[in-house]
Structure 1
Amino acid sequence: MKTGTLATPDAEIYYEVRGSGPPLLLVNGGDGDAAMYGPLAGHLAEDFTVITYDLRGNSRSRLTSPPREQRIEEHGQDALLLLDTVAAGEPAYVFGTSYGGMIGMALLARQPGRVRALVAHEPFVIDLLPDADRWHALFQEVYELYEREGLDAAMGRFCGAIGMEAPPEPTGSLPAPLQEMLARIRVNMGTCLAYELRSFVRFRPDADALRAARFTVVLGGEGPETLVLRTTRALAEHVGTGVGEFPGGHVGYLTHPAPFAEALREAVKD
């Protein structure tokens, strides 16, 4: 594995590159980092040059200007600059989970010729829901709770509302690399609540751009009915496409890396 740092406007992006073959960019969701894709990337590196990275302001991708509210579109520009650096202009396959799928959509809308195929896994496109205003109000409430009572109270409210569990605590009983990743993710949660969540969920995908591309919408095949399953189906309806199913739940790429890699290979193959 090779690592590097890319200077972009207002941030330095940490990235990792594995394998050889056509470029495949894996884009994280909220509060994740490149390490969460490590097992999946290891399986995919047999067939692709796999590029993973930490989103700006998260984990090892430090901001170079004061923190501020962020937009999906500027993250799409980060992804483009990363492809320019690592893939030397070659069109890439792109996979994104949650916010990452939305970043992939912004990248595709901006530079469709740079995306060979896009797979969006459980994207958090709240603004496509008929009750979007209720959710926007709730996320503002979560932010205010974070400011008033701290991370644990806010994440408890957020995860309870959307039907998902928060990542586990980085306890001493876990292997050191996992402890380190979970400690980074805990810090990233604060970044997400303060600067990402409320603006990211107002992103509206360009349906025409997605219809003109090789675009696949997928959800996790296991677990309870969650808000992200509603948003995934809403996106498919918005674009006029079906919904595929990948192994595992919202983090199936981490819990089921081998079958997830096989499903992703099938989804992007020419």
Structure 2
Amino acid sequence: MTEPFHDVHGSGPVLLVLPGGAGHPMGLDGLIRRLAGCFTVVVLDPLGLAHGRLGRPVAEQRPADWSEAAHRVLDAVLPAGESACVLGFSSGAIAALELLARHPQRLRHVLAHEPPCVAALPDGRLRHEGFRAVYDTYRRAGLAAAGARLAAELDGLPAPEQAPGQPPAPGEESQTPMGVFLTRVLVPFSGYVPPAELPAGRLTLAAGTASRGQLPARTAAFLAERHGSRFLELPGGHLGAAEFPEAFADGIAEALATASVC
């Protein structure tokens, strides 16, 4: 079995980064450069989309798939008996929660930024049905319509009036990271409910200051309270790591230093 696709930057304690969306690390270059000044930053690309596999067929994904890929990468970069910190974004944050549940002995601390595992919320069935509607919108009317519906769901707004659109052509969903995310990641990942016994002392839930009131931030705050873990606000919104890479990276480094783990 080949090792999962990943890249390594910098030096220092190992910080494994699990990107969001379909796992493509696009938009994270500035953050990675900043973090690489004090960490060995290992970036997982679970589907190999940034390594020449974009456009190939992709099976439906599960958080366990990504967490096991992350565990294999940790085995490749860490000596036996050592542990690492993990930084996960969005769907990558969901995978980080599953990794903590499955392999806590390999993790010093997990920082999960806005994991949209909305099924865990008290109104989780309704919220998850909203994401299923995003998938259905993509299948019926294409990427632009699905993107508008997804934005409304994240903001907690009514479904927008659907503009005319066309169903994607056969195989089209595999041509872009967003297409892969909408069809292979969004529904199964948002339906994930973390187990109740996560080790709270090794978990920080985070959300952006600009995300207050939005669904992913509400989910992060709820999970922090449910698990008795720390809740942290970082610059920007759901894509704060791309919007304010240096300030975001500095917030990450400070949070891990405060926790005395990395």
TM-score bracket relative to the smaller structure:
0.7 to 0.9
Give the superposition deviation at 1:87.
Answer: 2.8
Deviation at 1:189, TM superposition (A): 1.1
Residue 243 of structure 1 aligns with which residue?
Answer: 231
Which stretch shows the higher mean deviation, 22-31 or 220-229? 220-229
Partner of 2:102: 110
Contact 2:58 2:184 survives alignment (8 Å)? yes
For residue 222 of structure 2, what is the aligned residue in structure 1?
A: 234
The one of 193, 197, 221 equivalent to 2:209 is: 221
Instruction: Answer whether contact 2:211 2:217 (CA < 8 A) is retained.
Output: no
Paired residue type of 1:268: L
1:131 to 123, 132, 137: 123
Q: 1:54: Cα distance to partner?
A: 2.1
Taking the aligned partners of 1:186 and 1:159, their CA distance within structure 2 comes to: 21
Conserved in 1, the CA contact under 8 Å of 2:92 and 2:115? yes
Cα offsets for 1:182-224 (capped at 9, x unmatched): xx9981111111111111111111232232x411111111256
CA contact (8 A) 1:121 1:218 kept: yes
**TM-score in terms of structure 2 length:** 0.83
Alpha-carbon distance in 2 for matches of 1:202, 1:223: 21
State the AA in 1 paired with 2:28: Y
Matching of residues 33-48 of structure 1 within 5 Å:
33-48=24-39
- Whether 1:189 aligns to 2:184 is no
Aligned residues: CA RMSD: 2.5
Counterpart selection for 1:257 from 228, 236, 245: 245
Structure 2: distance between partners of 1:86 and 1:185: 30
Give the match for residue 132 of structure 2.
140
Q: What is the aligned counterpart of 2:19 among 28, 31, 40?
A: 28
Q: Which residue of 2 aligns with 1:77?
A: 68
Instruction: Give the AA of the match of 1:7.
Output: T
Structure 1: segments with no counterpart, 5+ residues: 1-5, 165-183
Per the alignment, do residues 185 and 232 of structure 1 end up closer, same or farther by CA in structure 2, a change over 3 Å counting?
A: farther
Shift of 1:52: 1.1
2:88 and 2:113 in contact (8 A); partners too: yes
Distance (whole Å) between structure 2 residues aligned to residue 266 and residue 16 of structure 1? 23
Distance 1:101 1:133 in 2: 20
SS at match of 1:47: coil
Pairs aligned (count):
241
